[in-house]
Chain A
Amino acid sequence: MGVDLDSPSNFMTTRLRQAVNWGRKYSLWPLPFGTACCAIEFMSAAASYHDISRYGAELVRFSPRQSDLMIIAGTISYKQASILKTIYSQMAEPKWVIAMGACASTGGFYNNYGTLQGADKVVPVDVYVAGCPPTPENLFFALTQIQEKVEKEGLEPSKVRHAARTQAQG
């Protein structure tokens, strides 16, 4: 990125990709898919003490159409799984997913007839957060990991990106 403050027109040169990703990175709009205990910790993360807005991600949207970061906060049961999938598919590209906590990552210590063994059985997950539930600090760490990932995103149309992702997953 080059900034020219001396010339009368004050211009800046950068790559389009960098500029777009810079914007995306600091204005993630999370969709909290809160089902259980982790959702309460997400509330803590959003409250004034921990203050998620320091990361530019305070604009919590419950509509999948308006958000680009899904935070799966809590256990996903088999009953819930199809709903999770629907909501994920309603989000517009580009989109990222955090699996917050042990249950969303692996099913946690619920290995039984009702619990899906990890949200990644249904939707692709970008970052997993350990903890039962993770503290708000852990969630913020995951958020910064997502930001790093966003920085490296390309600007291809979603179909191309999607194909690349599927290929990468084998």
Chain B
Amino acid sequence: MSQKLVERLQQEFGSEILATSSQHGDETISVAPENLAKVVAHLRDREGCEQLSDVVGVDYPERSRRLEVNYLLRSWSNKNRVRVKVEVPVDEPVPSLTGLYKSANWHEREVYDLFGVSFSGHPDLRRILTHHEFEGHPLRKDYEIEQGQECSRPENLFSDEDISRAAQRASDLVADLSGVEDEIHPSDLLTVNLGPSHPATHGALRVECLLDGETIIESRAEIGYLHRCFEKEAEDHTWAEVMPYTDRLNYCSAMLNNCIYAGAVEKMLAVEVTPRTRVIRVIVSELARIIDHLVCVCANLVDVGALTNYWYLYNIRESIYECLEALCGSRLTSNYARIGGMSHDLYEGFEDEIRVKMDQLKQGHDDVMKLIARNRIFLDRTVDVCVINTEEALSWGYTGPCLRATGLAVDLRKDAPYLGYEEYDFDIPTGVNGDTHDRIMVRMSEMIQSRSIVLQALEKLTEGPLWIDNPAIVMPPKQNVYGSIEGVMNQFKLVSEGIQVPAGEGYGFGEGANGELGFFCVSDGGGRPYRVKVRPPCFPIFSSFARLIQGRMIPDAIATLGSINIIAGELDR
């Protein structure tokens, strides 16, 4: 299918497609910057690529066209993907795709911020992850990793003209709704900051709102308060050393990040993990998904005033953490998966304990459903609040539970199965309206589906090796390290030089707790990544937040922010 897509494009555009390549199952085409918009528009309208998953910059200082921008497009309807690549010199702009995909806005801002690629026609090309006083572009290869820059004060997100325009719009809105001509003066609008330190933002992010009464006339979101430079750190470490950093992307479901990152590197190495490891990864991934949903839902319910659910759901989480702590020695940041295997095997009695925990989960889920399913306050706060439809959600780059809440049954575990997910029997819960209520309920149902997958996986668990048989990837057993010179050398090479990943590019992805979590890896053939780009599921979702809450009230914004599950660690990386 994918092969044919590239052929069709070549027929359509002829020599305008500068090059094509196929590596690790990813189809790539290169185009000149001036043809980019045309080709991508064709892909969107004729080839069903509804979604721009990510925009990835890469810096090659030795090339004359130094900066490379990759556009990752996905078609859910045709179940395929294609990557479009453009190369530009430092001072040449790339046309913006904001007219084609709404998610392009923030993705392009990020590439501008970190690489200095300017996008012509972009409506709001400002820095996004670093602060407004920052100078230089940190992900360029000549930027020193430790060169920190202080920020003296937060940025003002609204200028006086913005406020005047918003006031004008508010006047129009009032006239439309009530038929009364009532001019709203700019000074009537109240500016309120939600965050960056606010109980309902669940982390470090900021939304500045212009209010008329309690109605949000306009808002702007600012992120980057937790920009811990994952991608720069990754370039500074070996492929294996990146693993603990992945824990801290989405820290509510660290196991999922571990497994998907390991899967991405294994894709680059073209190796398959053993059957036992596959099943263990499914088990821990689904447990992580359950924990992530528990945290999201309970925090969301606290935000709408339903505090009891917090105690109920957090107890289940604590109870599952007992097992995970016994398994990998830490609660939140597990660091459990390894490239080519798992750091160690399950402990004795793990299976039985997990079965008990899964019963507790069912019990807790049912208790909470009893409290909220027909609760008038809960329904009033969430039903028909901040609705988004499927088409718009796709354009904004929604994936995961938030996309499924709009009624579209897509899930990478079904649409592009990995780790043997095709062998498990589970449903994809969907919503109807795409409102806050649906987003919460999809998560509640998914916990039960994940529980079912965990129970099935426990049945599938067979004895067998954990690690693949490849000394170039896997650490030798300790008795070899201490007993033979080959073992010492093997360990020494793997630790000091790292696993040698063949040169090339690959995009490894999976269904994270909050949607498509992907790692776009570029290797120059050495032991350290040339570039690792995370595709965080909540980044594009949060870019639509201003659109979601426009015209709503502050309490709606709070209820919605919880339901889209923004985790600052993966949002800002």
Contact = CB atoms under 8 A, between A and B. Distances in A.
A47 B233 contact: no
A37 B333 contact: yes
B150 interface: yes
Given A33-B197, A35-B568, A79 B227 contact: yes
B515 interface: no
B311 interface: yes
Interface in B530-573: 568-569
B114 to A, nearest CB: 11
A112 B146 contact: yes
A115 B311 contact: no
Contact of B332 (A33, A37, A47): A37
A113 B226 contact: no
Contacts, number: 130
Interface stretch (B47-55, B172-180, B244-252, B456-464): B244-252
Contacts of B130: 79, 113-114
B229 A112 contact: yes
Interface stretch (B26-34, B97-105, B151-159): B151-159
Contacts of B131: 78-79
B226 A36 contact: yes
Nearest to A33: B197
Interface in B453-472: none
Interface in B318-348: 318, 331-333
Nearest to B319: A49
B447 interface: no
B401 interface: no
A113 B248 contact: no
Contact of B196 (A83, A116, A135): A83
Contacts of A74: 204, 226
B146 A82 contact: no
Interface string B218-235: 000000111111001100
B203 A81 contact: no
Contact of A133 (B144, B147, B333): B333
Interface in B467-507: none
Interface residues of A, number: 37
B553 to A, nearest CB: 20
A133 B147 CA distance: 26
Given A33-B197, A37-B569, A78 B248 contact: no
Given A41-B332, A79-B151, A113-B145, A35 B226 contact: yes
A133 B225 CA distance: 19
Contacts of A75: 226, 228
Nearest to B310: A47
Q: Interface majority SS on B: helix, strand, loop or mixed?
A: loop
B138 interface: yes
Given A79-B130, A82-B154, A114 B227 contact: yes
A40 B332 contact: yes
B197 A83 contact: yes
Nearest to B569: A36
Contacts of B331: 41, 44, 133, 135
Nearest to B318: A49
A114 B229 contact: yes
A141 interface: no
A81 B154 contact: no
Interface string A55-94: 0000000100000000000110111111100010000000
Given A44-B314, A114-B229, A34 B332 contact: no
Given A40-B251, A40-B295, A112 B148 contact: yes
A133 B244 CA distance: 12
Identify which of A37, A111, A133 gathers the most chain B CB atoms within 10 Å of its CB: A37
Contact of A80 (B204, B244, B315): B204
A28 interface: no
B154 A113 contact: no
A114 B147 CA distance: 8
A47 B138 contact: no
A47 B225 contact: no
A89 B492 CA distance: 50
Contacts of A47: 310-311, 314-315, 318
B199 interface: yes
Contacts of B146: 111-113
A112 B228 contact: yes
A22 interface: no
A43 B314 CA distance: 9
B225 A77 contact: yes
Interface string A113-131: 1111100000000000000
Contact of B228 (A48, A87, A114): A114
B226 A132 contact: no
B149 interface: yes
A114 B149 CA distance: 7
A48 B151 contact: no
B143 interface: yes
B198 interface: yes
A44 B251 CA distance: 13
Given A44-B317, A112-B236, 15 more contacts: A36-B203, A37-B333, A37-B569, A40-B251, A40-B252, A43-B299, A50-B318, A75-B226, A75-B228, A78-B151, A83-B225, A112-B232, A114-B148, A114-B227, A132-B333
7 contacts: A35-B203, A36-B204, A40-B252, A80-B226, A83-B197, A110-B228, A112-B145
- Please give me the 3 A-B residue pairs with the lowest Cβ-Cβ distance, nearest first: A37-B251, A47-B314, A112-B229
